[in-house]
Chain A
Amino acid sequence: MLAQPFPLSDYAAILPLTIVATTPLMILLLDLILPKGAPRRDAAVAVGIAGLLLAAYVLVRQYLAHQFAPAFGFGFILGGFSIAFSLIVVAAAIFSLLMVLPQRDDEKVGPSCALMLWSAAGAMLMAGAGDLMTIFLGLEILSLALYCLCGMVLRASPVRLREARESALKYLILSSMASGFMLYGMALLFGATGSVNLAALQAIPAGNPVFAMGCGLFMIGVAFKLGLVPFHVWMPDVFEGAPLPVTAFMSVVTKAGMLAVFARFLYGVLGTDHQALIVPVWIVAGLSMLVGNLAALSQIDMKRLLAYSGIAQLGYIVAALAGTSTLGMRYALFYLGAYTFMNLGAFAVVALISRDQEEDSHLSAFSGLGTRHPLLAAAMAFFLLSLAGLPPTAGFIGKILILASTVAAGYQWLAWLLIAGTAISVYVYIKIVRAMYVPVDLAHIREIRPLSYAPWIAVAVCAVATIALGIYPAALHDVLPRIR
């Protein structure tokens, strides 16, 4: 006989998560078995992608079957909400793995893939987390794996090595410090309510000082992971230093995971009657829109530039939640999806034009791209226009939706900050577009390297999605309303 405290349905609920979490074990075993070189490298990536696709399939099945239920005593809440975020995480992980492939660095590919999947698993756990414990667990699984990934560069120039390791150290110290704040906040929340369950936190009446302080510290952790000014300081350095696929991965997955936690906390715990407890987040979001874009103005390293632009983009997304309206949640998800495609697409392009050993993400690598790789340049142009929020791209419609919801929620000032931020960002991105297209004397252009196929898939998919969502967003938008 088997006396188990939880019904099997609970395990079915976390099936995708389980898949993503166990695939790395297989990758590691294969890594031990297979001979060095290409087979080992490709196998690792292939298995990883296969696992992710399987997880995605299960997620979709769950979504269509509407088997939405709390599992493990509200420890993990399966629902359209968690599924949507999990799918975004899975997609991001797949694209990032595709970028891993061109790196000749076969000794590191296996572990990298494994860690990436574990990290994704952490994010998926956060997406469904129903109590503080699972939130913390997911957050740490996500982060711990990323600390390692940031430093995982081998066979690169000493400078690259130095950068990568430095980024790992900075990320480690700052992030665990932020986790400390969040953890203490959780302790206070637990103290205020006597329970770690978000559902139970809801019961607390407004104006409980311990609860308020708990929220405050919790929000610090949130703001740090989302990279909202002034908790954004870690992002540029870490993004620039980390290997490109990892940067791409971080730019979406950490955000998606923490956004899910934030949204659940916002809608599930604070609701509409604790507005005062959330104002600081709106403020930092507004700051991010401005500071992120302004700082991006003078960047000449693509990864760093995208880090700053990411800060601003997250500001937009958080702004969509202002007023905690269901509409806002929907639009935030929409923009997050759009952001996933356009941002990862841009990263994939950078990966494609990079050299074998180490990526050069300096902007000058883009000058004359239009003549070297017309298709690639066109795709990149679309990603950048989308990030800038120009039609006909997903970014444009996403911004319009966010504007609509913030204004509807009565946060005019956020809308204006968004418009101002966009004004600045247009320059940032258009500059690169022009660099790609304005004819330059071929003397300056580096020789055309054969492009490895894998990132092409990512670029193609992202480009199609970015444009499709821009031209006919209803496709995605009409699915979202079913999210609970």
Chain B
Amino acid sequence: MTPYGPVAIYLAVALVASLAFCILPGLLARKKPNPVKSEAYECGVEPTSDVSGRFPVRFYLIAMLFVVFDVEAASFYPWAVQMHALKLFGLIEMVTFVVVLAIGYAYVWKRGGFQWR
């Protein structure tokens, strides 16, 4: 079996699965359409705008901050693995790292980076 066997299998499975989830509902579901059903689900209110509207800028800001802090948090991982080997040294290093992050966090917070409006 070639080295690419696993890859090929993986691809095949992924393809099949995803296609299946797209197609099966259409096949299995029983169809009894009526005008009320085919309305957009808006709690009885007529749809005002299309769903794919533009997000407020705030959303992006929060998203960015999330990305930053989230990914930086990933830096804990290697330390966590080697924690016992690194002993106190590693701990100090990590604490410094956290402090730096914390200052940035505090700044963002104080400047109102997290308020929605």
Contact = CB atoms under 8 A, between A and B. Distances in A.
Contacts of B104: 28
A28 B110 CA distance: 11
Contacts of A29: 103
How would you classify the secondary structure of chain B's contact residues: helix, strand, loop or mixed? helix
Contacts of A1: 87-88
A3 B86 contact: yes
B86 A28 contact: no
Contacts of B86: 3
A24 B89 CA distance: 24
Given A32-B107, A32-B110, A25 B87 contact: no
B109 to A, nearest CB: 10
A32 B111 CA distance: 8
A1 B104 CA distance: 31
Interface string B89-117: 10000000000100110110010000000
A25 B100 CA distance: 8
A31 B87 CA distance: 35
A20 to B, nearest CB: 14
B110 A4 contact: no
A28 B89 contact: no
A4 B89 contact: yes
Contacts of A5: 89
Contacts of A4: 89
A31 B86 CA distance: 36
A2 interface: yes
Interface residues of A, number: 10
A275 to B, nearest CB: 40
Interface in A1-55: 1-5, 25, 28-29, 31-32
A1 B87 CA distance: 9
Contacts of A28: 103-104, 107
Nearest to B89: A4
Nearest to A31: B107
B59 to A, nearest CB: 19
Pick the most buried of B104, B107, B110: most chain A CB atoms within 10 A of its CB. Answer: B107
Contacts of B89: 2-5
Nearest to A26: B103
A35 B11 CA distance: 60
Nearest to A21: B100
A329 to B, nearest CB: 35
B115 to A, nearest CB: 16
Interface string B13-31: 0000000000000000000
Contacts of B100: 25
Contacts of B88: 1-3
A25 B89 CA distance: 22
A28 B100 CA distance: 11
A1 B88 CA distance: 8
A4 B87 CA distance: 8
A454 to B, nearest CB: 25
A32 B106 contact: yes
A2 B103 CA distance: 26
B76 to A, nearest CB: 18
A28 to B, nearest CB: 5
Interface in B14-54: none
Interface string B41-84: 00000000000000000000000000000000000000000000
A2 B87 CA distance: 7
B51 to A, nearest CB: 29
A410 B100 CA distance: 51
A52 B37 CA distance: 69
A147 to B, nearest CB: 13
Contacts of B106: 32
Contacts of A25: 100, 103
Nearest to A28: B107
Nearest to B87: A3
7 contacts: A2-B87, A2-B88, A2-B89, A3-B89, A25-B100, A25-B103, A28-B104
**For the complex of A and B, 9 pairs with smallest distance between CB atoms:** A4-B89, A3-B87, A28-B107, A32-B110, A25-B103, A2-B88, A3-B89, A2-B89, A28-B103
Given A2-B88, A4-B89, A28-B107, 15 more contacts: A1-B87, A1-B88, A2-B87, A3-B86, A3-B88, A3-B89, A5-B89, A25-B100, A25-B103, A28-B103, A28-B104, A31-B107, A32-B106, A32-B107, A32-B110
